[in-house]
Amino acid sequence: MKKFYQKILTVLLLIVLVCTSCRSVTINSKPDSNDSEITTSDKDNETDANDSEEATAEQKKFDTFTSDLFKEIVSESSLSVHSYFSYPEDYGFKNCPYTLGDASKESFDEDNEKVQKYLDELVDFNYDYLTDNQKLTYDILKTDLEDTLNFSDFYLYEDYLSPMSGIQTSLPSFLGEFEFNAKSDVKDYIELIKLIPDYYDSVMSYESEKAEKGMGIPDFWIDSLIDSCNEFISNTDNHFLITTFNDKINKLSDIESSEKDNYIKENTDIVKNSILPAYQKMISSLSSLKGKCKNEGGLCNYENGKKYYELLVRDITSSDKTVSEIKNMLNKKLKKDLNSIMVLSYKDADLYDKMDKYSFDTSDPDTILKHLLGKITADFPEGYDTNYTVSDVPKDIEKYENPAYYYIPHIDNTSKNNIYINRNETYKDMDLYPVLAHEGFPGHMYQTTYFQNTNPDLIRNLLRYTGYIEGWGLYAELYSFNYSGQDKDTIKFNKAMQCLSYDVYCLADIGIHYDGWSRQETKDFITSIGYDESVGDEIFETLVEDPAVYLAYYIGYLEFTDMKETAESELGDKFNTKDFHKFILDIGPAQFEIIKDRFDTWLSRQKTTA
């Protein structure tokens, strides 16, 4: 993750949306007493080959280090604590500071100093003494810390605001999910939301500094942000930050009615007289930045922008492939997908119509999820009992939210899972079947609950990799076509068409941010593939606003399919799909070079298995 240690976005952008979102010990139920402690995984009690006294001591020391590191980072803010725990006080988290952090250079530098400190402490361990599971955690953490430090010279390159995933939408989304399980939770919530205006002021100061130094965002981006903010403040009296608060507090039994009324009044006052005005102020500040942009194109147009994009691609894809290697891979995949589409459509001229007209028997989310859960047992390892709810995205933020997203459950309450579906007019024709496969089974919800129940090392709840997570989500989405009841050619055609869209978006992303394509060059590329020029402006602006966002999904997907194809080729009749999926799921979110190193070992073992 680009910012391993970051006082606000560690929580918001990693946890809020698994489009999203976040995540070693797994605690499956509320403990029996308030003296409960967080402990490391029982896996780390394995002896491995080295069970000397020195090794045992080093293993215990490593467990303590990773556990303490997790607690140190999470306890930085009450917001962080509530992001990971439903009952934080039961795990020793008490009186944590009320802070949302800030976007200042001082905080940025302080965070990097802490990352360096953690790295120095980590490399002091004797790697050879660690268990296999600890070595995996060590490799992931060391690589993550080193990658984070590579961003230390790029303070002003971070984007806090984007129309689809910026702080102005992700923070309210998170607040809507903030759990009230005790009176203390309500108090924490109230204290935290009081800080929103000052935090937004720091973000806008950051944006102003960027503009002053020639790195301001384009006017079309500003217009989208202003629209997003206006949408958020449009429903003052029944705003979702008021209605969700009221619903949650009214379900609490340990607060007297009169006290509930006081909290409801206080929250309503803060929302109406503090938070909504903060959005008005943000609109004004954004408006003042219009006309100051010196670059309406890609990151490569900034000083050292190509280097930053390389680091961003590494961070967001979890892959160690260079941008040039990714570009070559995508060009080959583009040709392959175009050829598949041509061959299949020549074979059956009605495939386009079949694909467009197909819909699952029902649009009821619960029915679809139960159908998928029943189907995946043939190809995926057994998961764990999972409770979930499917809800609509609040109308106050739906216009600029993702089509759907999944909230990561708390460490101490893994059975509580929430999927949100965006019912905005923009998505009225959205097919829920692949969407729920992506967010639910065998996608994010299945992968997350599976991994949490492997009892991973504590620190890995902070080490979430978009390339793995969203790559798996897309893999699950496309795999679900096999369960849809369509014929084989239609399934192949559908997958090729989906991949073609990603081919185009990802190549355009690299073209804009690495090769310096203009708006017109981007449109020329898109039309050369057969897309209508009318979508060119939208694609260009989307990719400028969210660099590498489609690479996050697609490169991870291609890494998974590459490993699968390698296993199928080398194992032949010995290849078992369920075993391959189990290998990927057992390792959990990690950088792909680390996964592939273990994959080689797994493959060798599979070859020798009778």
pLDDT digits over 322-375, tens only?
999 999 999 999 999 999 999 999 999 999 888 887 778 888 999 999 999 999
Mean pLDDT calculated for residue range 132-160: 97
Range from 59-63, 123-127, 482-486, 575-579 carrying the lowest mean pLDDT: 482-486
Q: Is the pLDDT of residue 278 over 90?
A: yes
Q: Residues with Cβ < 8 Å from 456, sequence gap 6 or more?
A: 24, 25, 26, 41, 43, 137, 588
Name the band, by pLDDT with cuts 50, 70 and 90, for residue 29.
Answer: very low
In the chain, pLDDT over 70 holds for what percent of residues? Answer: 92
Name the band, by pLDDT with cuts 50, 70 and 90, for residue 21.
Answer: very low
Range from 1-10, 296-305, 567-576 carrying the lowest mean pLDDT: 1-10
C-alpha distances (whole Å) from 84 to each of 14, 25, 89, 174, 256 are 11, 12, 12, 12, 27
Q: Is the pLDDT of residue 610 over 70?
A: no
Give the pLDDT of residue 51.
75
Mean pLDDT calculated for residue range 85-111: 94
Give the pLDDT of residue 389.
94
Residue range 370-426, pLDDT digits in tens: 999 999 999 999 998 789 999 998 887 887 788 899 999 999 998 899 999 999 888
Alpha helices in 443-514 (DSSP H): 444-452, 466-479, 488-513
The backbone torsions φ and ψ at residue 151, rounded to the nearest 5 degrees and listed phi first, read -90, 0
Q: Is the pLDDT of residue 15 over 70?
A: no
Give the pLDDT of residue 19.
41
CB atoms within 10 A of CB 482: 15
Give the pLDDT of residue 358.
79
Higher local confidence (pLDDT), 43 or 376: 376
Give the pLDDT of residue 26.
27
Which residue(s) pair with 388 in the sheet? 417
Q: What is the DSSP-derived secondary structure letter of residue 425?
A: G
C-alpha distances (whole Å) from 513 to each of 34, 218, 305, 316, 521 are 51, 15, 8, 14, 12
Residue range 174-201, pLDDT digits in tens: 999 999 999 999 999 999 999 999 999 9
Domain ranges of the chain: 1-18+59-101+104-157, 162-295, 306-354+488-551, 359-483
Give the pLDDT of residue 164.
80
**Paired sense of beta strands 387-392 and 404-407, if any:** unpaired
Name the band, by pLDDT with cuts 50, 70 and 90, for residue 220.
Answer: very high
Mean pLDDT score of the chain: 91
Give the pLDDT of residue 394.
86
Range from 60-69, 320-329, 437-446, 451-460 carrying the lowest mean pLDDT: 451-460
In the chain, pLDDT over 90 holds for what percent of residues? Answer: 81
Give the pLDDT of residue 357.
79
Q: Residues with Cβ < 8 Å from 140, sequence gap 6 or more?
A: 460, 463, 590, 591, 594
Give the pLDDT of residue 41.
52
Give the pLDDT of residue 541.
97
- The answer to whether 337 touches 500, Cβ cutoff 8 Å, is yes
Q: Is the pLDDT of residue 492 over 70?
A: yes
Residue range 493-507, pLDDT digits in tens: 999 999 999 999 999
Q: What's the one-letter identity of residue 132? A: D
Q: Is the pLDDT of residue 462 over 70?
A: yes
Give the pLDDT of residue 356.
81
Closest alpha carbon to 397 in 515, 517, 239: 239
